[in-house]
Amino acid sequence: MPATIEQAFPSNLYGGRLTIDLDAIVSNWSLLKGKVSDSTDCAAVLKADAYGTGQDKTAAALYQAGCRTFFVAVPTEALTLRASLPDAVIYVLDGLFPGTADHFLTHDIRPVLGSLEELLEWGEVCKASGKNNAAAVHVDTGIHRLGLSPAELTRALGDNAVLGPFQPSLVMSHLACGSTPDHDMNRRQLKLFTETTAPFPHIPRSLANSAGVLLGPDYHFDLVRPGIALYGGQAIETEPNPMKPVAKVEARIMIVRDVPQGDTIGYGAKQTAKRPLRNAVVAAGYADGMIRRAGSTDDRPGGFGLIGGYKAPILGRISMDMITLDVTDVPEHLLQRGAFVEMLGPGVAASDLAAYAETIDYEYLTSLGRRFERVYAPLT
């Protein structure tokens, strides 16, 4: 029997191909690591199957490059990661679900405690074991999602009777507006985090996500935790993206046909041919992570594919399994049935597609290629 789904079928049976460049991911991590001092740990966020790139392979590549601290979202991701990296430090961002403490202890996984209730429960676990079991504590500095209030953190960490032997292995917060460097929120959060954690100089601190790394050393503290930038995403909206692309989606041409001027294309008849067109139907759709909102109408342009360097705009709505492209200006020899079209990659940035879809590149990357052949190789 084949060891993986990728080995189960010949490559020409897939409607598309998702190529992931592990060397590019490592290069992006190394670039970010080079922006922090030697005393600051550069971790890696691997949640959502390493942003769609494959947790096991991505984690192994980063570990080999020197990364030793990883963040995931939920306990199941942590348990899978622990099986492949027995001595890595693993934090679970979603914290301590009720009744799960034994799993964290058994597998040496560290919850990020995001509420006073979680912190008190972990304190009881530490009291019962008589040990300082490692865990992080999240303090909310203004994003108003997870995290203790600064006052709760100060009271809890200042009272040994409450938490017993527990001392956090990390205290962290999260930037709300890091992708916009000039936003006042960044400095407000930095000031509040610095002031709140100052009474606990013995506890390592972390504030910077991908954007925080690029905001500069004031935000770095003892550990940075890049996510989207590792995977080629644009962490800072207002500056050129310095990260290498790491993924490429290619979908096969199914048919090429003529569309008379005045006819409409796709569901809802939202796109009208303003001239005689040639269209190519490719085997990818919103079920493969090609977000429906990136389709085109008579009122707004949509995304595009790339065929031999020629831009092919999307025509009409994106369907579950198909996308129609305008290939009127693409040379005929590039339009063979079964030929690949680049729908995302070095020539079609996820951030560009996200702009057409009125979303963010995170959503594209974490949704990609459920039905595609998955290949780990350099992007070409």
Active site residues: 47, 267
Question: At CB < 8 A and 24+ separation, what contacts does 126-129 make?
Answer: 126/163, 126/164, 126/165, 126/166, 127/163, 127/164, 127/165, 129/105
Instruction: Report the distance separating Cα 375 and Cα 345, nearest Å.
Output: 14
Instruction: Report the distance separating Cα 174 and Cα 161, nearest Å.
Output: 28
Q: Is 206 exposed, middle or buried (0-12, 13-18, 19+ CB in 10 A)?
A: buried
Nearest to 208 by CA among 194, 218, 195: 218
Instruction: Decide if 144 contacts 150 (C-beta within 8 A).
Output: no
Which helix (DSSP H) or strand (DSSP E) does residue 51 occupy?
helix 47-51
Q: For strand 44-45 and strand 69-72, is the pairing parallel, antiparallel, or unpaired?
A: parallel
Q: Report the length, in residues, of the chain.
A: 380
